[in-house]
Amino acid sequence: MCGITGYIGARQAAPILLEGLSKLEYRGYDSAGLALLNGSEMDVRKKKGRVSVLAQEVKKHFFDSHLGISHTRWATHGAVTDANAHPHVSSCGNFAMVHNGVIENYENIKSFLLTKGYTFRSQTDSEALVNLIAYHYYKLPENSENRFLESVRRALLHLEGTYGIAVICRMQPDEIIAARKGSPLIIGIGDSERMVSSDVLGFSGRARSVIYLDDGQIAKVTADSCEVVSANNELVPYVTNSVDWELDSAELGSFSTYMEKEIFEQPKVIENAIRGRISDDASTAVLNGLNMTPSEMRQIDRILFCACGTAWHACLVAENLIEKYTRIPVEVEYASEFRYRNAPLDKNTLAFVISQSGETIDTLEALRESRRKGFKTLAITNSVGSTIARESDGGLYQHAGREIGVASTKAFTSQITICILIALYIGRMRDLSFAQGKEIVGALKALPSAVEETLKLAPELKKLAGKYCKYHDFLFLGRLDEFPIALEGALKLKEISYIHAEGYPAAEMKHGPIALVSPECPTLIFANSGDIFNKVISNAQEIKARKGPLIIVTDSPDRFPEGLADDVVVIPKVHESVRPVVSTIPIQLLAYYIAQQLGCDVDKPRNLAKSVTVE
């Protein structure tokens, strides 16, 4: 969730920290703050609101400091107030800390510290930890080697929960201590300077080489060095990795919002997902990243997909595609449920997890649970070097470029595209003929152009948004592989416009949800060519008979009765394997333009953050 940046080096820290926070604001934007050290003098500034509010406060003062930490918050414990904003300072005033994650036993720690005379100013779990660090620091002999690092290490031994932290100390003005468990933390390496961040974006292009901390690791960071130890205080060797994405991918360019930019990037993103993954004879996919031989793949009897949110909808699309083309049973689990549900799995089960960030805590724990039980577990992720990418047995990178908008768009269609490739790859080993394989490959190659063509509907959907933005409820209906797209359409509308919306299989309407249909509740239904086209039209007629406003998204506008729909959105006719991608574009654009009509901040919707690293 929240964003962390820290800096130590020769340059002024405050402007660098603020720039880093502005890049990370998509991870949390309830409040922001920073703590700076100048020798033994510590200055802490924090404000409720966006990073720009903090920046205005900082501009009122000159801070001559070359070391500092900062944070932009997505609230978990405690209301959104100045006092609950990070950094938190120990009651002695000598330690400041920023924290991502949740400390589950903070109340016990707080109760203990109150008996020792420590005081608390906030409602947060994080303040208990910074005071616990101070407690351990003063218990150690003054001449202890690495006294600051050791006090952090000892404090963390008492914690239950997750954390990514950066801590500074007035008595150690030349180092930052950083640690992680379940919440990402990265160290950026520059020329006689180091940075700490929860995301490479926080480095603002200043670091091209990074160290990824693993769970349980603690780092002492100075301007010229980094020392990493384990929870047992054993020195840990580490490797540095280059950052393989361009900062330009995080810039708006000519677009007004990141969400708009990312919607219109989708033709290129889909092209990137396909590139290098088609066989020379154009009949199948080449997926070396799965790290499985054809004979190993043929032993698979069942496939499990785990994810959260939008990625879970991509899993549902994968279920339809893989079962259709491979005849292998597929199960889709919410990652948050799978990790606690003792699900019986066949010994020949292959597991996939999907996470754009590669850091989604529930999905990460689902991966760990699957591997703990001995199942081969593969990942689809957009983040090279992420925890999920590092801990999986193999997988496929999306190569979609950084997605900044909180509501996922290009990452979703990229995930579906990769799932199509997986279905093709496994299908060609089983039921799909050479000719069928070539047909799907042809559809994949034509997909970027089809999406480009669909994006031309933007003016039409902007006009529709003006008509439908007045409603407070919305239904989205689809069948088979477009039911997940209906779910995604409802989610997008909820996320960024705050309009109540629900997605259902179209035929399920008559089993209860049809009670919601009225002139005040519009329905968007997908009615595309195929075996069940007429049945979907019958479902649409049920809506119309109850005077519900009706939008039909279709590739066959001439096949249903004139006057059935209030509005028709015509999409290109494509092969059924890639149709979920094309069908996604109109619902993204409609949600986007409705939110804009309502004056909502589409890039930073209320109560949401981009990467969910807390339960």
Q: Give me the active site residues, please.
A: 2, 610
d(Cα 292, Cα 596) in Å, to the nearest integer? 46
d(Cα 427, Cα 325) in Å, to the nearest integer? 5
Give the 3-state secondary structure of 249-306.
HHCCCCCCCHHHHHHHCHHHHHHHHHCCCECCCCCCECCHHHCCCHHHHHCCCEEEEE
d(Cα 295, Cα 580) in Å, to the nearest integer? 30
At what angle are helices 126-139 and 147-156 packed, to 10 degrees?
130
Query: Quick one: 249 exposed, middle or buried, by C-beta within 10 A (0-12, 13-18, 19+)?
Result: middle
Backbone angles phi, psi at 484, to 5 degrees: -60, -30
Helix (H, G, I), strand (E, B) or coil at 24: helix
CB neighbours of residue 545 within 10 Å: 10
> CA angle at residue 426 from 424 to 430, to 5 degrees?
105
Burial 8-27 (b: 16+ CB within 10 A, else e): bbeebbbebbbbbbbbbbbb
Helix (H, G, I), strand (E, B) or coil at 98: strand
> Does the bond joining 519 to the residue before it have cis omega, within 30 degrees of 0?
no
CB neighbours of residue 123 within 10 Å: 13
Cα→Cα distances 593→72, 259, 328, Å: 28, 11, 39
Residues 6+ apart with CB under 8 A from 379: 352, 353, 354, 355, 358, 367, 388, 389, 392, 394, 395, 396
d(Cα 309, Cα 504) in Å, to the nearest integer? 16
In the structure encoding, which two tokens stand for residue 373, read together? 């039980």
Helix (H, G, I), strand (E, B) or coil at 63: coil
Q: Which amino acid is at 580?
A: P
Residues 6+ apart with CB under 8 A from 502: 474, 475, 476, 490, 513, 516
In the structure encoding, which two tokens stand for residue 296, read together? 């190993």
User: Which residue from 582, 408, 553 is spatially nearest to 495, judged by alpha carbons?
Assistant: 408
Backbone angles phi, psi at 291, to 5 degrees: 55, 40
d(Cα 162, Cα 72) in Å, to the nearest integer? 17
The whole-angstrom distance between residue 348's C-alpha and the CA centroid of its chain comes to 29
Beta bridge partners, 155, equal none
> CA angle at residue 498 from 312 to 259, to 5 degrees?
65
d(Cα 588, Cα 461) in Å, to the nearest integer? 10
d(Cα 135, Cα 311) in Å, to the nearest integer? 42
Q: Residue with structure tokens 């020949």?
A: 348
Beta bridge partners, 209, equal 189, 242
